[in-house]
């Protein structure tokens, strides 16, 4: 007996319409509800890479655009110029400091020292009436010692002044002579100091008479001298003021020269770097 073949029924998928099958293959499982709306008819969308976009300002703002575009370039140029100027100034300062240091190490400059050897006082009579004014004249012998400098000379300029006072009371003033003092040299010179309208109180006259009787009259000799240090024949410094204050004691106030006892001199001078 032959086997009987029963026909199979078609599967449900095979019975679906063709359009429904195509829609199922292309439609996503989770459709998006934020789709970009389609462009209106007659328009085109052209996509260009960002690095190829060339922006051209409108004609009415082209001049302002050029100014704004050139501003960073100007700032860079100004910064470079300022940096170059600052570097040049610092280089010059370093070179000047190095030069001064070399000169100092080679010549070893020192300030000169001064002392008063004698004073000749006239016109200072303590026995005169207190109502009368005095006009003293003092001849001062001064010793300038440049022995501390072995390679540097001292050039004393015009305009130096020497004054003598008694407990702050100005007695006389004169000029410091201008001359050149060679290295390792001692120079003696004299200068004339004059005063006018000098007056003492009764207490000052009594004290001055007592000190003269004891042979110890204290006086203060001050000098302000513009000098320049000379290194060799060519190199010189700027002119600076050297101030000296000497405490001197004389044994008498007479027409003859009185022996002066120096109680110490103080020299005040600016540091070496100020001289350049």
pLDDT over 50 at 267, yes or no = yes
What is the model's pLDDT at position 62?
63
Q: Which residues pair with 140 in a beta bridge?
A: 119, 191
Q: Is the pLDDT of residue 11 over 60?
A: no
Eight-state DSSP code of residue 90 = H
What per-residue confidence (pLDDT) applies to 202? 82
Contact 140, 160 (CB under 8 A): no
- Ranking 50-54, 79-83, 91-95, 253-257 by mean pLDDT, the lowest is 50-54
Does 113 score more than 80 pLDDT? Answer: yes
- The average pLDDT across 95-107 equals 76
Pairing of strands 160-166, 137-145: unpaired
Structure tokens given for 116: 């008063």
pLDDT tens sequence across 28-62: 555 555 666 766 676 667 776 666 555 666 666 66
- Whole-prediction pTM value? 0.62
Q: Which helix (H) or strand (E) holds 191?
A: strand 186-194
pLDDT at residue 2, as a whole number: 47
Number of Cβ within a 10 Å radius of residue 147:
12
């Amino acid at each position: 007996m032959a086997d009987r073949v029963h026909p199979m029924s078609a599967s449900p998928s095979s019975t679906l319409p063709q359009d429904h099958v195509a829609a199922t293959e292309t439609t996503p499982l989770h459709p998006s509800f934020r789709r970009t709306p389609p462009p209106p008819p007659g328009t085109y969308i052209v996509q260009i890479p960002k690095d190829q976009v060339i922006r051209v300002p409108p004609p009415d703002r082209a001049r302002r655009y050029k100014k704004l575009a050139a501003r960073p370039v100007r700032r860079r140029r100004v910064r470079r110029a300022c940096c170059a100027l600052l570097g040049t100034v610092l280089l010059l300062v370093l070179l000047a400091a190095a030069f001064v240091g070399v000169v100092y190490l080679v010549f070893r400059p020192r300030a000169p020292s001064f002392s008063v050897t004698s004073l000749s006082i006239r016109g200072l009579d303590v026995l005169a009436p207190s109502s009368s004014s005095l006009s003293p004249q003092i001849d001062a012998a001064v010793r300038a010692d440049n022995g501390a400098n072995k390679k540097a000379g001292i050039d004393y300029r015009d305009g130096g002044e020497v004054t003598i006072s008694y407990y702050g009371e100005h007695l006389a003033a004169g000029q410091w002579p201008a001359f050149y003092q060679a290295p390792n040299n001692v120079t003696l010179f004299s200068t004339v100091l004059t005063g006018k309208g000098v007056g003492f109180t009764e207490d000052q006259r009594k004290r001055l008479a007592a000190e003269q009787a004891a042979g110890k009259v204290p006086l203060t000799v001050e000098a302000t001298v513009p000098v320049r240090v000379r290194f060799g024949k060519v190199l010189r410094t700027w002119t600076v003021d050297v101030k000296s204050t000497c405490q001197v004691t004389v044994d008498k106030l007479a027409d003859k020269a009185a022996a002066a006892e120096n109680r110490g001199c103080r020299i005040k001078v600016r540091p070496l770097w100020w001289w350049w």
